[in-house]
Amino acid sequence: MAFIPHTADDVAGMLDVIGAESIDDLFDEIPRDLRAAALDVPQAMGEMEVGRLLTERAASDGRPLNFIGAGAYEHHIPAPVWAITTRGEFYSAYTPYQAEASQGTLQLIYEYQSMICALTGMEVSNASLYDGASALAEACLMAVRANRAANSRRILLPRTVNPTYAQVAKSIAGNQGIVFETVDFDRSAGRTLLESLQPYTGQDVTALVVQQPNFFGNLEEADQLTDWAHQNKILMIAVVNPISLALLSAPGQWGSRIGGNPGADIVCGEGQPLGVPLAAGGPYFGFMATRMQYVRQMPGRIVGRTVDAEGRPGFSLTLQAREQHIRRSKATSNICTNQGLLVTAATLYMSLLGSEGLSRVAAASLQRTADLVARLSGIAGVKPAFTAPRFHEAVLLLDRPVAPVLAALTRRGIFGGLDLTDRYPELNHALLVCATETKLDADINAYAVALTDIMKPSRAAA
Amino acid sequence: MSNIPSDLRYTKSHEWVRRQQNGTVEIGISDHAQSALGDLVFVEVPEAGRALRAGEACAVVESVKAASDVYSPVSGKVIAGNAALASQPELLNQDPYGAGWLFRVQTNSPLDEAALMSAADYAKYLADEAG
């Protein structure tokens, strides 16, 4: 089947049928003053000019040594991942779902779902969502549908959750009647304390969100927090880094499980670390998994394995009745799709690394960050902010404003981390740093040497 | 021609209401509705104790081709949901007025007779809708 846009004749024919003069007439209902003015975009350019412009722009990026994490992580991506992902069979502007024509794509998504279930310790995964932040928003909406013991639509959102995720969850779910209660963190450990949840004990609360490792890179006491949530009939939403799950306990196993309490109820997160390169604005992908008990409340597409009329195995979309093309405004979500191409890359990445490879990436990243923190903390005016155990990120406190220090590092070709001043002003000159397996001893040394120089007392006044 | 028992009341959204003793009512969906939906694969009923307002969506019936909300024709408190439907949704196809009931409500006000149809009116309503 050819996908050819309408010709001028097609358009004229259709306008004639509905009795409109022009396509613009179709927008008559929208008042003039609400329409966008002429867009301020440059004139069209030829291929040669565009090529030259982009080459110049790319050169201006340089080849910085990157120590920024904060939700998007630089990992080595084996060459076959994108060589296979960009093959014509997978490389499509739209994910094809027709079971009769798309068994390969559907099987790949099914394998992806199985891998996400294995990593998270959950029973069912969807085919992915837009990104980690919108996955959390969807998880909050899902929790309201799933937790029938709660009527409050109140969700506890610790400040140790990525502030961007919190913002997205608030703008998507906050306008649908969900109230977010902010939970503060312990200043010395850098994680959420059980005590800070006590005011909500016995209250009508829908869900508790826990990010593991948290935004500061610290490990939350997930078992305790999960037990508390379940004792209070509160659903547990886990936001996790998929790479970390190669070392940390799967959310499905969180908690003491006394009295049959299962682990987390909904697990979501950002899939970018699994084979997706860093890019401003993405595209990345979100993942989401849950227990079978809540499968009908989970948004998005799900691929299932089945048999055809002759008993042969095959794959098709399943549980379609929850979705917007059938349930319209009552669908589990009207703003989600899956990110087929990124899921393809992630599935290949996980397949190529295997569980042992993933564990090595996670262990190396943890070790690199430990090395980085040890080196940088030896510099006068630099110290670790928190005492909790970490994965592959850490907050450092400087004795002076962070922005000028980062600017000086950038001039030396080093992206030194994320300045937390705007997000956590009370931490006073806090810098979030990350080192994955991509950083060598020489890289960490280069950072330490540059920072030592920049932090010299003689420069402090400047 | 679908089965429309004469001792029940019906809504335009195809629920039926059976009056029981002490101001309680039993609610389900009509034979016409189950037949239009086709083979049901999942039924979600409200939990006991839930307060309902008349017209509120409180149950979901999902077939192989559609999922629809079921609206409570009455206000009151849910006494029971039909737990058997969780594992045997086909009961609703087989016996929509009996074993396929959805939920029971303790009403807190008299039934709004104007909003409910007799069997004869419902039969006429279906005929007009098909018309």
Q: Which tens digits make up the pLDDT trace of B50-102?
A: 999 999 999 999 988 788 899 999 999 999 999 999 999 999 999 999 999 99
- Interatomic CA distance for residues B20 and B79, integer angstroms: 12
Same domain flag for A257 and A342: yes
Same domain flag for A260 and A300: yes
- DSSP secondary structure of A301-345: -EEEEEE-TTS-EEEEEE-GGGSHHHHGGGSS-SS----HHHHHH
Establish if A244 belongs to a structural domain. yes
Same domain flag for A359 and A282: no
Q: In terms of Cα–Cα distance, which of A138, A201, A149 is closest to A171? A: A138
Phi and psi of B125, rounded to 5°?
-60, -45
Same domain flag for A389 and A324: no
Q: What contacts A453, CB < 8 A, 6 or more positions away? A: A459
Map residue A391 onto helix, strand or coil: coil
Same domain flag for A412 and A379: yes
CB proximity under 8 Å: A 318-357 to B: 321-322, 326-327, 330
Same domain flag for A340 and A359: no
Place of tokens 């068994």: A103
Contacts of B63 in chain A (CB under 8 A): 321
Establish if A29 belongs to a structural domain. yes
Tokens matching residue A75: 């990992």
Whether chain A has a CB inside 8 Å of the CB on B67: the answer is yes
Distances (CA, A) of B116 to A222, B10, B18, B35, B100: 52, 5, 11, 21, 20
Same domain flag for A84 and A18: no
Pairing relationship of beta strands A286-290 and A302-307 according to DSSP bridges: unpaired
Helix A340-377 × helix A441-454 angle, to 10°: 60
3-state secondary structure chain B: CCCCCCCCEECCCCEEEEECHHHEEEEEECHHHHHHHCCEEEEECCCCCCEECCCCEEEEEEECCCEEEEECCCCEEEEEECCHHHHCCHHHHHCCCCCCCCEEEEECCCCCHHHCECHHHHHHHHHHHHC
Q: Among A347, A366, A381, give the residue marking a domain's end.
A: A347
Same domain flag for A259 and A390: no
Domain residues of chain B, as ranges? 9-110
What tens digit of pLDDT does each residue of A281-300 get?
789 999 999 999 999 999 99
Q: What contacts A51, CB < 8 A, 6 or more positions away? A: none
Total domains in chain A come to: 3
Report whether A129 contacts A266 (CB < 8 A): no
Q: What contacts A162, CB < 8 A, 6 or more positions away? A: A70, A71, A132, A133, A211, A215, A239
Q: Do A296 and B42 touch (CB under 8 A)?
A: yes
Give domain B9-110's CATH architecture: Beta Barrel (2.40)
Same domain flag for A329 and A405: no
Q: In terms of Cα–Cα distance, which of B30, B26, B32, B24 is closest to B45? A: B26
Q: What contacts A311, CB < 8 A, 6 or more positions away? A: none
Report whether B58 contacts B105 (CB < 8 A): no
- What is the number of CB-based contacts under 8 A between chain A and chain B? 20
Contacts of A296 in chain B (CB under 8 A): 42, 44, 62
Establish if A126 belongs to a structural domain. yes
CATH classification of the domain holding A340? 3.40.640.10
**Whats the size of chain B, residue-wise?**
131
Q: Among A347, A378, A396, give the residue marking a domain's end.
A: A347
Q: Is the pLDDT of residue B34 over 60?
A: yes
Distances (CA, A) of A378 to A249, A370, A408, A413, A449: 32, 13, 19, 22, 11
What tens digit of pLDDT does each residue of A192-250 get?
999 999 999 999 999 999 999 999 999 999 999 999 999 999 999 999 999 999 999 99
Map residue A212 onto helix, strand or coil: strand
Question: What confidence score (pLDDT) does residue A462 get?
Answer: 44
Same domain flag for A87 and A42: no
pTM above 0.90, yes or no: no
Map residue A14 onto helix, strand or coil: helix
Whether chain A has a CB inside 8 Å of the CB on B62: the answer is yes
Residue of chain B minimizing CA distance to A293: B86
Pairing relationship of beta strands A235-240 and A266-270 according to DSSP bridges: parallel
Establish if A1 belongs to a structural domain. no
**Whats the size of chain A, residue-wise?**
462
Whether chain A has a CB inside 8 Å of the CB on B56: the answer is no
Q: What contacts A188, CB < 8 A, 6 or more positions away? A: A386, A387
Contacts of B67 in chain A (CB under 8 A): 321-322, 326-327, 330
Show the domain range for A110.
79-347
**For the stretch B53-70, what's the b/e string if a residue is b when 16 or more beta carbons lie within 10 angstroms of its beta carbon?**
ebeeebbbbbbeeebbeb
Establish if A60 belongs to a structural domain. no
- DSSP secondary structure of A74-122: -----HHHHHHHTSTTT--SS----TTT-HHHHHHHHHHHHHHHHHHT-
Instruction: Going residue by residue through chain A, which has 462 residues, state the pLDDT in tens, using 9 for 90 and above.
Output: 456 778 899 999 999 999 999 998 999 999 988 988 888 898 999 999 999 999 999 898 888 999 999 999 999 999 999 999 999 888 887 777 888 889 999 999 999 999 999 999 999 999 999 999 999 999 999 999 999 888 889 999 999 999 999 999 999 999 899 999 999 999 999 999 999 999 999 999 999 999 999 999 999 999 999 999 999 999 999 999 999 999 999 999 999 876 666 899 999 999 999 999 999 878 999 999 999 999 999 999 999 999 989 999 999 999 887 888 877 778 888 888 889 999 999 999 999 999 999 999 999 999 999 999 999 999 999 999 999 999 999 999 999 999 999 999 999 999 999 999 999 999 999 999 999 999 999 999 999 999 999 999 755 544
Establish if A59 belongs to a structural domain. no
Q: What contacts A110, CB < 8 A, 6 or more positions away? A: A303, A304, A305, A315
Establish if A3 belongs to a structural domain. no
Establish if A257 belongs to a structural domain. yes
Same domain flag for A210 and A115: yes
Same domain flag for A302 and A385: no
Q: In terms of Cα–Cα distance, which of A364, A392, A67 is closest to A219? A: A392
Question: What confidence score (pLDDT) does residue A461 get?
Answer: 47
ipTM of the complex: 0.72
Contacts of B40 in chain A (CB under 8 A): none
Q: What is the DSSP letter of A390?
A: B
Contacts of B44 in chain A (CB under 8 A): 296
